Structure formats: C-alpha cells, structure tokens
Amino acid sequence: MTSLSGSSVLVVGATGGLGREFVQLLSDEGALLTLHGHSAERLAELGTFGATVAGDLSDSDTAAQLVSAALAAHGRLDGIINAAGVVAFGPMADVADETIDTLMAVNATAPMRLLRAAHPALTESSAGHRDPFFVTLSGIVSERPTANMAAYSASKAALAAFAQAAGREMRRDGIRFLDARPGHTETGLATRPIQGSAPPLPTGYQPADVARRIVDAIISGERDLPSTAFAG
C-alpha cells in the first residue's frame, strides 16, 4: 500500500488519546472514516471526520454493528485500527473478577470478534487489490509482562498471540495483520484505570508520534512493530 487515499478505514476507540491522532492523520491521508467510541457525546466532539457509531466493546453484538456501519457509510471496508483498551493496576491477589472479565472482554475478546465480523469485507477488499489491514496495539506489556499489572499484561499478551496466529491465517486471504507494541504513551489511559491507581511512570511517548509511526507502517506494508520500533 502506497496511499490511504480513498481507503475505507474503521477506527475503534477513536475518542481516546491515541484514537484522536489516528483520526486526524487518516483524514489528512484522504481515508474515508468510520469512527467508533463508547460515548456518542465524545464522538460528536471529534467533528465531521467521518461516520460515527457508539457501542460497548464488551457487548457481543458491537463488532458486527461496527462493520455494518462502515459498509453502510462507504460501501466497503479496507482497514481497521483497534485503538481501544482499558487498564487496571494493583497486586494480582487484589484484582476483582469483574476487572479480569472487563480487561479480557475489551482488550482481547473484542478484537477477535471484530476480525471475525470484518473478515468477509476485508477479503472482498483483497480481491479488489486494496491491500486490507487490521491493526492491533498489544503494547510493550505483551513483550514484558509487568508486576502489579498482571491481569492487564495477560489480556494484552492474549491479543499479541491472536495477532501472530491470525496474521498467518489472514495472509492467505491477502489481509495484513499489524500488531504494534509501543511503550508507555501519554494517552491519559493510566489516569482512568478500571481498578487501582497507576504507579509513578516515566514520561511516555507522545500519542502523535506513535500514531504517525503506525500509519507510516500501514502505508509501507509492515507487518509487525515491536517495542524497539518506537525507540529513538
């Protein structure tokens, strides 16, 4: 892929600190956007970048709804960037069942459902020689599981494992799976944990820089972005 101009792209988690950067960059590249957020009000704050759809990613019906919204808006779906996620902090012994369930539902299960729902549309995009892609962000914790973030690390490691295995399957269908694993990024997510509170963290990457690196990887045809790809 040398250009995103005219590509129909779904951004999941478009209202987050990283999602907003993707929206701006993809719009600048000329992509046709469908934007997902948990809140319709926050989606409205993005402006008129594309079609919008609100939905809870822990709901089993949401994935199909997002794909349907993209197809209704643009007649096709050529790429997905999953920038949504939740985080929790605290010792393993203190993590609540509800926290574990939510971490796995949003960070791991939702992207799996989304790829399954989008597979027919992405396969059709491949047949049209539009180089379809599916981007996940398992983050550095999938490479280096972190104490006091064990359940969160596990949910992201599950996503990374899914990316590796599904990526090999999707390659046969002409669909490119790209997993990005940046280190701590200043998205504000750490200030909104679903349990616990964040420990002191070093200054992270700027969301605009991380989003730019990932968009460049999409355009250049890369298939993997380890944590080292964001250093320097």
What strand order describes the sheet that includes 133-137?
Answer: 50-54, 32-37, 8-12, 79-82, 133-137, 176-180, 224-225
Superfamily of domain 8-223: NAD(P)-binding Rossmann-like Domain (3.40.50.720)
| Tokens of residue 230, six digits | 């964001």
Residue 165, H or E segment: helix 150-171
Segment holding 15, helix H or strand E: none
Q: How far is CA 54 from the centre of its chain?
A: 15
The alpha-carbon radius of gyration of the chain (Å, integer) is: 17
User: Given this model, what pLDDT does residue 148 score?
Assistant: 95
Tell me the three state secondary structure of residue 54: strand
The string of DSSP codes covering 121-149 is: HHHHHHHTT---EEEEE--GGGTS--TT-
For residue 12, the model assigns a pLDDT of 98
Domain ranges of the chain: 8-223
The predicted pLDDT at position 49 comes to: 80
* pLDDT at site 1: 67
From first to last of its 232 residues, the chain has per-residue pLDDT tens of 679 999 999 999 999 999 999 999 999 999 999 999 999 999 998 887 889 999 999 999 999 999 999 999 999 999 999 999 999 999 999 999 999 999 999 999 999 999 999 999 999 999 999 999 999 999 999 999 999 999 999 999 999 999 999 999 999 999 999 999 999 999 999 999 999 999 998 999 999 999 999 999 999 999 999 999 998 6
Active site members: 152
The structure's pTM equals: 0.96
Written as six digits, the tokens of 40 are 């319709």
Per-residue pLDDT tens over the stretch 44-77: 988 878 899 999 999 999 999 999 999 999 999 9
Span 2-23, pLDDT tens digits: 799 999 999 999 999 999 999 9
Q: Residues 6 or more apart from 205 whose CB is under 8 A from it? A: 182, 183, 184, 185, 186, 230
